[in-house]
A = this chain, B = another copy of it.
């Protein structure tokens, strides 16, 4: 259960054959570690690390080897970051490539090698024109392969069935693997990572099994065509890599606070590879995920995020030397008047975000409380079946989420052959029939995506929320963009249009609307602000479009906040009942520490230990009667002035240890927390000295401290407990 509470230190102590006093002064193994589902004490962890660092520094002056050790210790952080970047980048590349291949496998097979995806398969083909590139002889759809024909109703039905069959197979495999090997691998993982970073311990959540299973099932889940994305889970994958790599370095293995610094950096790495946005990733970690983020971590996360981005780029999973499928470059500027539709998109995004969170949380609560929760495999299969059934006929839902976004972001050039770019080539470029068909299909896709995402997020498969949210926003944005464009083209004598839209010029970019819409919806769901702007900025690579993005994202956040304070991750944290102290919210009430503290005035008095005069038996009795995790130590029962604080876990371990190893310790042995034990009569049993486990600097506030200040202390210093004193 707790691998670090081992016996190694203990047996070393016994073989050391030293004097009794030496044995007692040695640190008892297990003291200073934590149990599962507990919160760490940041202050204690940090001072542990400082002590370790001081020791290494002082030793380094003594010998060359120690100096080398000290240097390697200083650089181990950078090395660790390098490794995390390389590993996460490589994993993200593998995930991208395999998901691409599996997604294409739903539609057909490459004859020159089944491991090629559609695009790779047709690279060698002679059909070099844009339209025909997709139809090379090596690539055969399932109908061609099984029935020999690629036309007609029968072929369509064969393809349809194979599509559904593959989707069901993939999602079945995903959910079975998750259930069998790593139950923690489901979901996006971001709520749990937020909780872990705030100091909570969930053993195994970032372990190697979770990593392996999450990577495999993520590919399967994405390929099955469910309305989910790989971006959120990539953060979890990067954090798993970081946690596993931490075990290589003593410095990080043994210190929970240091490890959390590394995990913060890993969250940045995850976003960096997910969106190809290293700066955005660092800001995401800073704004959204992290709890304690010193400057040193900022710089290291940036380094790791860059390494990961470059690793991914050298793998080049999309063959376009970009890190994401939906990288865009726009060229036409936008006009002030367009801020109105952008803000409308922001309102849409905010409304959708707030409603999505409510609906999703209600659905997840239903899953937890009703019988629905007992059949996770069936649930996944049913949702996959319905998704596949409904999505095949519509080409915009059949393609994967990131392909859809890429198509919607696309700025129609004259050569573009896609349906959305089917403009008549007359002077004003009015929309052709293809565009109108596409609009209908997109409208249907919008409703479909909105509904199916609500039931998908939270199922027992790895599922990210970024891509589905962005897809919803991108569809809405593109629809609005095309509408605006046609309005401007048909009515370019209108006053507002006249000023900037000269006849025949492309004055409105529907792709930009899609991007603004995507950002607004994502902002509404996650309540990210600055990091989202920067991610989008890195996707487009120009300062030019920051103002539309900011206007939409800010509107979206305000609208969503007005309908419900929490983002999706906070809502899921609360739903799962994790302990999490929100850092962003202001404490509004005017209570004082004395109104909040336990025990309340009506409760029995506070249980305290005295610094001298209590026996082992009495202390064990106190511990048996209560279930507090720690006890204040006071001068005496009469003069309850505070001396220190002792943790239950440390006390249990130390008393057990004393009983086992120290001869003659019985229940009547006196326990001393004093530094100098007064001389004892020879006849009595030996005393137990526990000064070592006593925290001599517990944090205290007076009973008149406003709760807002107390909360601030908890947040900023990462306390586990705080004692309330009155006149000392």
Contacts and interface: CB of A to CB of B under 8 A. Distances in A.
Given A46-B712, A725-B728, 17 more contacts: A47-B706, A50-B708, A54-B588, A278-B546, A279-B537, A295-B583, A295-B584, A299-B529, A310-B547, A541-B541, A641-B641, A641-B728, A644-B702, A697-B702, A697-B705, A697-B709, A727-B728
A287 to B, nearest CB: 6
Interface string A29-64: 000000000000001001100110110010000000
Interface string A676-717: 000000000000000000001110111011101100110011
Contacts of A541: 541-542
Nearest to A717: B716
Contact of A727 (B533, B643, B716): B643
A656 to B, nearest CB: 26
Interface in A351-398: none
Interface of A: 43, 46-47, 50-51, 53-54, 57, 278-279, 282, 286-287, 295-296, 298-299, 302-303, 306, 309-310, 529-530, 533-534, 537-538, 541-543, 546-547, 550, 554, 583-584, 586-588, 590, 593, 635, 641-644, 696-698, 700-702, 704-706, 708-709, 712-713, 716-717, 725, 727-728
15 contacts: A43-B709, A53-B586, A57-B588, A279-B534, A287-B298, A295-B583, A302-B533, A306-B546, A306-B547, A696-B702, A696-B704, A696-B705, A712-B717, A716-B717, A728-B728
Contact of A635 (B588, B701, B727): B727
A300 to B, nearest CB: 10
Contacts of A587: 50
Contacts of A547: 306, 310
Contacts of A51: 590
A537 B534 CA distance: 13
Closest 9 CB pairs of A and B: A728-B728, A696-B704, A697-B705, A641-B728, A716-B716, A641-B727, A697-B702, A302-B530, A299-B529
A364 to B, nearest CB: 27
A122 to B, nearest CB: 28
A43 B712 contact: yes
Contacts of A46: 708-709, 712
A643 B538 CA distance: 55
Contacts of A717: 712-713, 716-717
A613 to B, nearest CB: 16
Given A550-B303, A713-B717, A727-B643, A697 B704 contact: yes
A530 to B, nearest CB: 5
Nearest to A538: B543
A283 B530 CA distance: 12
A136 B554 CA distance: 50
Nearest to A323: B543
B708 A47 contact: yes
Contacts of A543: 278, 309, 538
Contacts of A642: 702, 727-728
Contacts of A53: 586, 588
A210 to B, nearest CB: 29
Contacts of A641: 641, 727-728
Contacts of A57: 588
Contacts of A546: 278, 306
Contacts of A728: 641-642, 725, 727-728
Contacts of A635: 727
**Of listed A54, A543, A547, A590, residue having the most chain B CB within 10 A:** A543
A697 B704 CA distance: 6
B299 A530 contact: yes
A198 to B, nearest CB: 15
A96 B607 CA distance: 69
A278 B549 CA distance: 15
A586 B295 CA distance: 12
B278 A586 contact: no
A279 B708 CA distance: 32
A588 B542 CA distance: 44
